[in-house]
């Protein structure tokens, strides 16, 4: 995860590690040298557990390809922020990298869901009185939910990278990105509970935060203090401060206004 946010290359994306990862994925290996992966349906004598293990390994193979995308996308975004026209060759490179990896992630998702390795989530009423959402997303297990959230976060990164490749004001993925971010935030109540909850949601939450509006950012930062008790990497201090105050301070201020304090 550090590589994704720092832009450093991940060792898992090196050829020898790609080959090892693919060999652990049984017949999903495909042509590792060309970074192509094929997906086979559930075999007649194969359990869902072993079937899922194949896709789980490929998930990390795909995740290891994200850092080169974030590195180039960040440079292009910073250039645009400062009114500098990005290098056309870098824009073209980013479009190719992000577009190809997005297609691979979509193929992975279609395979893992259509094959029955994981079941789709359902919507249920929130039980948290402080939740900004009436309904939340619930999964067959919190760990499966973590996979969904990670997939949505990765798609957010890739689609925002493709937005940066557009000329002018065109941003074709903005609406889809907002929906993905809300899915992640609506999953926190189920996936983020318990001792391991913060670990399960850390990556996706940090990505979704970048796409949330101010009220949702304040809400996110209000729960980071709780998460920090189990997972220090989710300290509010690692998130941008809003108006010079931390999220928890703003949330308490807003609650005081609502309660007439």
Q: Where does residue 88 rank: exposed (0-12), middle (13-18), buried (19+ CB within 10 A)?
A: exposed
Question: What pLDDT band is residue 226 in, cutting at 50, 70 and 90?
Answer: confident
Q: What is the pLDDT of residue 216?
A: 95
Higher pLDDT, 160 or 37: 160
Higher pLDDT, 184 or 55: 184
179-218 pLDDT tens trace: 999 999 999 999 999 999 999 999 999 999 999 999 999 9
Q: What is the pLDDT of residue 114?
A: 78
Residues 6 or more apart in contact with residue 122 via CB below 8 angstroms: 137, 138
pLDDT at 21 over 70: no
Q: What is the pLDDT of residue 50?
A: 55
Distances (CA, A) of 252 to 84, 129, 131, 171, 179: 40, 15, 14, 35, 27
Query: Which range has highest mean pLDDT (10-14, 103-107, 251-255)?
Result: 103-107
102-153 pLDDT tens trace: 999 999 999 888 777 788 999 999 999 999 999 999 999 999 999 999 999 9
Provide the percentage of residues in the chain whose pLDDT is more than 70: 70
Q: What is the pLDDT of residue 56?
A: 78
Q: What is the pLDDT of residue 169?
A: 79
Q: What is the pLDDT of residue 254?
A: 43
Residue 138 CA to residue 124 CA, distance in Å, equals 7
């Amino acid at each position: 995860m550090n590589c994704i946010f720092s832009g450093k290359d991940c060792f898992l994306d090196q050829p020898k590690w790609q080959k090892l990862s693919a060999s652990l994925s049984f017949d999903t290996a495909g042509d590792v040298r060309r970074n192509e992966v094929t997906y086979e349906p559930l075999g007649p004598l194969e359990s869902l557990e072993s079937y899922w293990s194949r896709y789980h390994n490929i998930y990390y193979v795909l995740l290891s390809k994200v850092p080169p995308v974030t590195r180039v996308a960040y440079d292009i975004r910073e250039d645009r922020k400062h009114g500098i026209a990005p290098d056309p060759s870098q824009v073209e490179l980013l479009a190719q990298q992000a577009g190809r990896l997005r297609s691979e992630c979509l193929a992975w998702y279609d395979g893992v869901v259509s094959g029955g390795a994981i079941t789709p989530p359902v919507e249920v009423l929130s039980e948290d009185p402080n939740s900004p959402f009436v309904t939340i997303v619930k999964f067959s297990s919190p760990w499966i939910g973590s996979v969904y959230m990670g997939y949505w976060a990765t798609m957010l990164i890739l689609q925002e990278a493709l937005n940066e490749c557009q000329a002018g004001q065109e941003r074709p993925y903005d609406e889809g990105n907002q929906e993905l971010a809300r899915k992640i935030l609506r999953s926190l109540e189920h996936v983020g509970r318990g001792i391991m909850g913060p670990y399960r949601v850390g990556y996706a939450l940090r990505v979704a935060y970048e796409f949330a509006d101010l009220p949702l950012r304040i809400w996110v930062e209000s729960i980071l203090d709780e998460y920090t008790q189990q997972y220090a990497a989710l300290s509010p201090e690692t998130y941008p401060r809003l108006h010079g105050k931390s999220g928890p301070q703003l949330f308490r201020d807003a609650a005081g206004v609502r309660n007439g304090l």
